[in-house]
Amino acid sequence: MPANTFSSDTMLGDIQVPRQQFLQFTLEPDTNLILPLFQLTEILTVPLGQITPIPHMPSWTMGVHNWRGDVLWVIDFGAFLGLTPWHLQSGSRTNYRVIILNGGVPFDLDPSQRRRSPGQRNQMLGLVVTEVKDITWCETDQIQSPLPPALVQTLRPTCGDFGSALQG
């Protein structure tokens, strides 16, 4: 078993609980997210002005950046998800925080199975985020998406005192 997939402290009798490393980051307003660490290539600090806008693209497409001699497409990840666009967020920033996502890596738990054909280049994408936090271990079977806000609003009145615990 790969060392980064299972941890010895997750033993429950004879059952191993799959664990994986994730990068924690935030988007405004107050949205905490995680991405599987094996799908990331690098985290960059890019000075303002070093992302070249491309006309006639969706509003969440910030442009391209010269990353190690390659063209890296960069998107405003918050705006892409329907959150506050980066340029409308509060604070005076002088740099972008860019997470480089490796789009050529299939989502599986076994790193030894992640292979490319010879000469094949992975597709990379830069995600501009508000803040990069820490790396954490998570049990993959415990990861859940939040409830859709419309469902939370529907359920909250029927849950009595427990309705305030619903998050969406």
Q: In this structure, how many other beta carbons lie within 10 angstroms of the beta carbon of residue 38? A: 19
Q: pLDDT tens track of the chain, all 168 residues?
A: 444 444 445 455 556 668 899 999 999 878 899 999 989 999 999 999 999 999 999 999 999 999 999 999 999 999 998 888 988 887 778 899 999 998 765 554 444 454 544 455 568 999 999 999 999 998 877 777 766 676 666 666 666 555 555 555
Q: Residue written as tokens 């939370």?
A: 152
- Distant-in-sequence, close-in-space partners of 87: CB < 8 Å, separation ≥ 6: 76
- If DSSP states are collapsed to H, E and C, what string results for 70-98? EEEEEEEHHHHCCCCCHHHCCCCCCEEEE
CATH architecture of 6-160: Beta Barrel (2.40)
Token pair of 25 as six digits:
């980051």
Cβ atoms of 51 and 71 within 8 Å: the answer is no
For the chain, the domains span: 6-160
Classify residue 55 by its DSSP letter. Answer: T
What pLDDT does 28 receive?
A: 85
Give the DSSP letter string of 13-25.
TTEEEEEEEEEEE
